[in-house]
Amino acid sequence: MVESAVLWDRGSDGVGRIRLNRPEKFNALNEEAFDELFRIQAEIAEDPDVRAVLLTGEGSSFCAGADLDYVNTALASPGDFRRFTNRLRELFQNFERMAQPIVAAIHGHVLAGGLELALSCDIIIAARTARIGDQHMRLGLVPSGGDTQRIPLRLGRSQAMDILLTGRWLSAQEALDIGLVSRMVEDDELIATADEIARRLAASSFPALREVKRLTHLAYSTPLSDGLVAESDAAMSWFGTPAFHDAISGFTNRKR
């Protein structure tokens, strides 16, 4: 029996665990993987028991981007290629817009669309030996999954130009130093560390997590003054709710 290109399960701890499952292809995303990920995203959106998501890759690498056979099929016509790039953009935006916080555990090769996938997540934990890069320019290609937009937003113009125009590899240490990833751990600690973070998030107040994620994303597209008003409005809408009183009660009890 052939296993699915993507494995997915809901834990009793509130964590939805997604595993890219094409290790023989370095988890390159083929059409089946796209279909499965879209299906999983829809299921998570309808499942109130999933309060955090963990994204990992089976085998020696997190993700080597889009599968070349799938890309070649998309090159049949301009319309086919447009549909491919639309799917790529929508897949990553769906993760970015997901109400649940997403933790990505990356290792091995993380390149092109694999990097774009990781950057659509909220917290990125990198194994020490991970090799990370956009790589599109080394092939003479233009990114279509968001690297030209998300990397500058994270790093600023100078660092982004270096990474995007040269297509060079980054070590996990350099990626951590410049702020491309959130944390770096030893290879044998990667999954346990990322899973612990996801479980801790799932144990937190989901309404608060959802609002903080939404407000943080606003910072990328909203003037500071408008973002501050949105934050204040969100805090006021929180006031008086049962979750607010539970949080205040817990804080007060800890202070005693």
Task: Classify residue 7 by burial, with Cβ atoms within 10 Å: 0-12, 13-18, 19+.
Answer: middle
Q: Which CATH class is domain 6-202?
A: alpha beta
Q: Which CATH class is domain 206-255?
A: mainly alpha
Task: Please state whether beta strands 15-20 and 52-57 pair in parallel, antiparallel, or not at all (unpaired).
Answer: parallel
Coil, strand or helix at 127: strand
Total-model pTM:
0.88
pLDDT digits (tens, 9 = 90+) for 199-240: 999 999 888 899 999 988 888 888 888 888 888 888 888 776
* Fold agreement (6-202, 206-255): no
Tokens of 202: 């799932």
Of 113, 158, 159, 155, nearest to 136 by C-alpha is: 113
What gap in Å lies between CA 214 and CA 212, rounded to an integer? 5
The full set of domain ranges for the chain reads: 6-202, 206-255
pLDDT digits (tens, 9 = 90+) for 138-186: 877 878 788 888 889 889 999 999 999 998 999 999 999 999 999 999 9
